[in-house]
């Protein structure tokens, strides 16, 4: 009797596990380097012994390869991050994604293609170069700009916003121009903190599809007001600059040995006035 009860309980656990697998769904993206990240929905059991198995077949070689990665429970849900070989990210590969527990596996998604589900890792912090009237920002990613399939196809979006306000502005940058000059003096408030962050994606083609990455780390600064001393300096340079230049030229002329010699020679040359004085008196 006890054995029958254990058998019935075992059957119910198998059915519950099968129902939990059937109810599951998965949504995956690839960073197009080595990682495939999936969000698993509809899990009704503890995921301690659950995993996703990524299987693909190289048809030309009749070779089947598998990567099995655990499902992790977080506050935001159930995730799985699987690292695969970078050679497996080639544009012609596709995966079957299986949800597995201790007793069985079931296909959740067939023919998952990394090239059609690209979500790049967030870009590094924006590089800022400040001047008096402008702040030049440059978006870049050494990790992807030399990528075999993405080189020259990255487009950026930069978000400029007040740290403690609602004002913001979004700037779109093309693959051919990944920098932008912010007119800080004309556009930004004085003595106010601003932050800028960037995200990017690959340009879509017939063979590849990409979504925006997560935002990268923000870079913040305070747009400080120019002091009175900083205001006076340009005015003094504009007004006194020409006068100082003339003084330098005059000093150079008078202290030049050749010029001084010519002046002395002219000073010793007799004047012809005494010869012309009798003529003027006669007339």
Rg of the chain's alpha carbons, rounded to an integer? 38
Burial class (CB in 10 A: 0-12, 13-18, 19+), 154: buried
Where in the chain do CATH 2.60.40.10 domains reside?
Answer: 20-118, 120-223
Q: Which CATH architecture is the domain 120-223 placed in?
A: Sandwich (2.60)
- Provide the pLDDT for residue 273: 57
* Other beta carbons within 10 Å of 179: 15
- Provide the pLDDT for residue 220: 95
The pTM of the full predicted model, rounded to 2 decimals, is 0.69
- Provide the pLDDT for residue 242: 76
Q: Residues 31, 121: contact at Cβ < 8 Å?
A: yes
Distance (Å, rounded) from C-alpha 200 to C-alpha 113? 20
Please give the chain's pLDDT, 283 residues, in tens: 444 443 333 343 433 444 444 456 889 999 999 899 999 887 766 667 789 998 886 665 566 788 899 999 888 788 999 998 777 776 678 899 999 888 888 899 988 999 999 999 999 999 999 888 899 999 989 889 888 888 899 999 999 999 998 999 999 999 989 999 999 888 999 999 999 999 999 999 988 999 999 999 999 999 886 554 445 556 656 666 677 777 767 666 666 666 566 556 655 556 665 655 565 555 5
Q: What is the DSSP letter of 126?
A: P
In 3D, which of 67, 216, 200 has the Cα closest to residue 145?
200
Q: Residues 71, 79: contact at Cβ < 8 Å?
A: yes
Q: Which CATH class is domain 20-118?
A: mainly beta
- Provide the pLDDT for residue 237: 65
Distance (Å, rounded) from C-alpha 212 to C-alpha 264? 80
In this structure, is the dihedral angle defined by the CA atoms of residues 257, 261, 262 and 267, taken in order, positive or negative? positive
Burial class (CB in 10 A: 0-12, 13-18, 19+), 202: buried
Q: Residues 71, 82: contact at Cβ < 8 Å?
A: no
């Amino acid at each position: 009797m006890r054995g029958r009860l254990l058998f019935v309980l075992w059957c119910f656990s198998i059915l519950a596990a099968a129902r939990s697998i059937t109810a599951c769904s998965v949504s995956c993206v690839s960073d197009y380097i080595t990682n495939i990240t999936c969000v698993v929905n509809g899990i009704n059991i503890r995921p301690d012994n659950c995993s996703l198995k990524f299987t693909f077949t190289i048809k030309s070689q009749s070779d089947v390869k598998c990567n099995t990665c655990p499902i992790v429970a977080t506050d935001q849900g159930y995730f799985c991050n699987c690292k695969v070989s970078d050679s497996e990210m080639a544009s012609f590969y596709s995966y079957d994604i299986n949800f597995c527990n201790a007793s069985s596996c079931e296909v959740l998604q067939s023919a998952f293609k990394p090239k059609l589900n690209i979500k790049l890792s967030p870009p590094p912090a924006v590089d800022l170069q400040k001047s008096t009237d402008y702040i030049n920002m440059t978006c870049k990613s050494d990790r992807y700009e030399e990528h075999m399939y993405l080189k020259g196809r990255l487009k950026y979006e930069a978000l400029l916003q007040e740290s403690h306000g609602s004002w913001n502005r979004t700037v779109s940058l093309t693959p051919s121009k990944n920098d932008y000059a912010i007119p800080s003096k004309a556009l930004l408030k004085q003595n106010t903190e601003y932050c800028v962050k960037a995200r990017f994606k690959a340009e879509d083609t017939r063979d590849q599809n990409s979504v925006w990455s997560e935002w990268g780390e923000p870079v913040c600064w305070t747009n400080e007001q120019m002091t009175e001393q900083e205001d006076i300096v340009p005015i003094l340079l504009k007004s006194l600059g020409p006068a100082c230049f003339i003084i330098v030229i005059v000093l150079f002329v008078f202290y030049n040995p050749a010029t001084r010699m010519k002046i002395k020679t002219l000073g010793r040359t007799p004047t012809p006035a005494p010869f012309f004085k009798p003529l003027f008196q006669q007339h």
